[in-house]
Structure 1
Amino acid sequence: MSAPADRHALVRALSEQLPRFMRLVHALKSQMSTTDGRDRAALVLLFPLERLGPLRQGALAELVHADPSTVSRHVAALVEQGLVRRSADESDGRASRLVVTEAGHAALDALRREREAHLERVTAGWDPADVATLTTLFGRLLDDMAATLPGTADHDPARENR
């Protein structure tokens, strides 16, 4: 087999693993429940808010590639639960930014612990070097996939043809 054919076979194998990965993630999301019954889909919006700081709701929807009405519903739930508060946008008094509250940070910590505990169980028999390699390569894959999404700052149409 020539090198291009080998690469094609490897890419095909990877492409066949992605739907399996997505199904497993979906199953895990359905199976895992937060201890206080909060909506997990809404809670994951806290991660970019914590990482990037206060954001407008529209910017958050764009960032997570979600429908604005869905994000609006989730944000309303987060505000009602006291996990997020709206703060006036200094650059435009008519708009507000979403800010994670102390309770929101605590909910994020609980989610992180839950994810980490699950991954610790899954990779318990792995060599630490394998975990490091997977983490590096998976991050690279995610970065490169994100860079191909239309409408993102990272989008480079030339990368799609590589």
Structure 2
Amino acid sequence: MNETPNDRLAQVRTLSEQLPQFIRLIQTVKTQMARTDARDRAALVLLYPLVRLGPLRQGALAELVHADPSTVSRHVAALVEEGLVRRVADETDGRASRLVVTDAGHSVLESLRREREAHLARVTAGWDDADLATLTTLFGRLLDDIAATLPGTPEAPATPGAALVPPAREIR
């Protein structure tokens, strides 16, 4: 089936209207979860890249998550205080340190993963397997292509759209 430029523009326009709605819904879900959890969920998000990419310097982590270094510093301090992250000497520069997720941090991430999966299982309970598989593949492709347009995003594929079936995503 051939798509006309107007059809494609209409689809892109619809998507551009759906994305802000999606972001608002995600923010609402995050806000509701934060009300039931004493932990600072914004800080916990920093655990994902540390697990996926390994020990990182704090500045590199701030760059990676596109956040202000002072905000990341505050969140890292909370993670260290809670025993979810520890600082280790950087083997390439003794004056610097890298952040490493502790066993307790891995446990918290596992709990968050189970919580997120349970929520999505409830949301998609009425979907057939083919629809869920299609969404998963296309949503992964969209995330990869968006990431590919952002500077300094290491999880971006070399070619936009290259990862049609993405690996398990931990930072999204």
Per the normalisation by structure 2, the TM-score is 0.85
Q: Residues of 2 paired with 1:64 and 1:71: CA distance?
A: 9
Partner of 2:11: 10
Q: Could you report, residue by residue, the CA deviation over 1:18-73 in whole angstroms, capped at 9, with x for unpaired residues?
A: 01001000000000138651110001110111111111111111111111111110
The answer on whether the counterparts of 2:64 and 2:152 sit within 8 Å (CA) in structure 1 is no
Letter in 2 for 1:101: T
Letter in 1 for 2:138: L
Q: By how many angstroms is 1:149 displaced?
A: 1.4
Q: What does residue range 7-156 of structure 1 map to in structure 2 within 5 Å?
A: 7-33=8-34, 37-152=38-153, 154=156
**Could you say if the C-alpha distance between residues 29 and 35 of structure 1 is closer, same or farther in structure 2, counting changes exceeding 3 Å?**
closer
Q: By how many angstroms is 1:129 displaced?
A: 1.5
Please give the secondary structure, in 1, of the residue aligned with 2:28.
helix
Please give the secondary structure, in 1, of the residue aligned with 2:34.
coil
The answer on whether the counterparts of 2:50 and 2:56 sit within 8 Å (CA) in structure 1 is yes
The answer on whether the counterparts of 1:148 and 1:155 sit within 8 Å (CA) in structure 2 is no
Aligned residues: 158
The answer on whether the counterparts of 1:34 and 1:40 sit within 8 Å (CA) in structure 2 is no
Percent identity between the two aligned chains:
78
Q: Residues of 2 paired with 1:116 and 1:78: CA distance?
A: 23
Q: By how many angstroms is 1:150 displaced?
A: 3.2
Q: Residues of 1 paired with 2:157 and 2:65: CA distance?
A: 15
Q: By how many angstroms is 1:112 displaced?
A: 0.4
**Could you say if the C-alpha distance between residues 74 and 93 of structure 1 is closer, same or farther in structure 2, counting changes exceeding 3 Å?**
same
Q: Which has the higher contact order (CA 8 A, sep 6+)?
A: 2
Per the normalisation by structure 1, the TM-score is 0.90
Q: By how many angstroms is 1:128 displaced?
A: 1.3
Q: By how many angstroms is 1:132 displaced?
A: 1.2
Q: When you count helix as a share of all residues, which structure comes out higher?
A: 1
**RMSD over aligned Cα atoms:** 2.1
The answer on whether the counterparts of 2:59 and 2:69 sit within 8 Å (CA) in structure 1 is yes
Q: Residues of 1 paired with 2:54 and 2:112: CA distance?
A: 18
